[in-house]
Amino acid sequence: MTQTAPTPATPIGSADLVGRRYRDPDLTSLAHRTPTIDQQLAHRSVREFLDAPVTDAQLTSIVAAAQSASTSSNLQAWSVIAVRDADRRSRLAALAGDQRFLRCAPLVLVWLADLGRAARLAAEHRTQLGATDYLETTILGFVDASLAAQNAALAAESLGLGTVFVGAFRNRPAEVAAELGLPDHVFATFGLAVGVPDPAESAGIKPRLPQEVVLHRETYDPARDSAIADYDVRLRGYNTEHGRDADWTTPVLARLADRHSLKGRDQLRRHLEERGLPSR
């Protein structure tokens, strides 16, 4: 039976949010809190969705939030494709490691590094765009798309929706581009599945590295890595609660072991060049 769209959930208490985010006895509360910070602390990946739509009105609000993100030199070098068609979502899932949630989510947003718009403007105005041949401009498109997408995820979650990012579109970018009809100078950076969370899913707020590890002051201090051992214990505890057995260090090293662990993304430079985004 189709479910109606949700209203935003009652927020979890701030102290509880901090406790869940870190599981760190030395950081259990924040001196400063706002509804926005609480919403960010409550973020979790959702991979199980109810049979309920994401409305056009919700999508409009989500994209408005995305467009409110910062953008380098106001180039706005990104676009997004909203995919609702079940057959297309299924084909995209097959291209992205056959991840089931891409078939189940009612909406998949594919975020694009889009230099094509500027290229078309240049053709219209009969001028050259030599800077688009350089790595900086490609990175700019990826950064702009990422900033916009994070705004979109936060907005969706504030509406009571759940989200999960999908990097596996970069496994087979040529096929993804063909499926989405992407023109030259446009690249699918990642996806964002959006829908109403299934409350039966076994998932929660995953603990992050201690701030001691990621927050450096004035200069970089590799000795801060010493706190990772404690984090391995905390994350293993969280994973055990959800039927998994993993710390943080082991999968990180496996994920970055060699080119095979990149699942085809070791060819990314070639794919970018084929899409008209060379990286001098």
pLDDT tens-digit series, residues 68-125 = 999 999 999 999 999 999 999 999 999 999 999 999 999 999 999 999 999 999 999 9
Q: What is the pLDDT of residues 126-152, one digit of tens each?
A: 999 999 999 999 999 999 999 999 999
Q: Which residue has the tokens 């403007």?
A: 121
Q: What is the pLDDT of residues 232-253, one digit of tens each?
A: 999 999 999 999 999 999 999 9
- 201 within 8 A of 193, measured Cβ to Cβ: no
Q: Cα(176)–Cα(159) distance, rounded to whole angstroms?
A: 29
Q: What is the pLDDT of residues 21-39, one digit of tens each?
A: 999 999 999 999 999 999 9
CA angle, residues 72, 77, 78, in degrees to nearest 5 = 125
- Give the CATH class of 14-274: alpha beta
Give the residue-averaged pLDDT of 40-66.
97
Chain-centroid distance of CA 107 in Å reads: 14
* pLDDT at residue 6 in the model: 45
Q: Band of the pLDDT at 280, cuts 50, 70, 90? A: confident
Q: Cα(234)–Cα(239) distance, rounded to whole angstroms?
A: 9
* pLDDT at residue 8 in the model: 44
Assess whether pLDDT exceeds 50 at residue 10: no
Q: Cα(184)–Cα(197) distance, rounded to whole angstroms?
A: 36
Assess whether pLDDT exceeds 70 at residue 217: yes
- 139 within 8 A of 86, measured Cβ to Cβ: no
Average pLDDT, the chain: 94
Chain-centroid distance of CA 279 in Å reads: 23
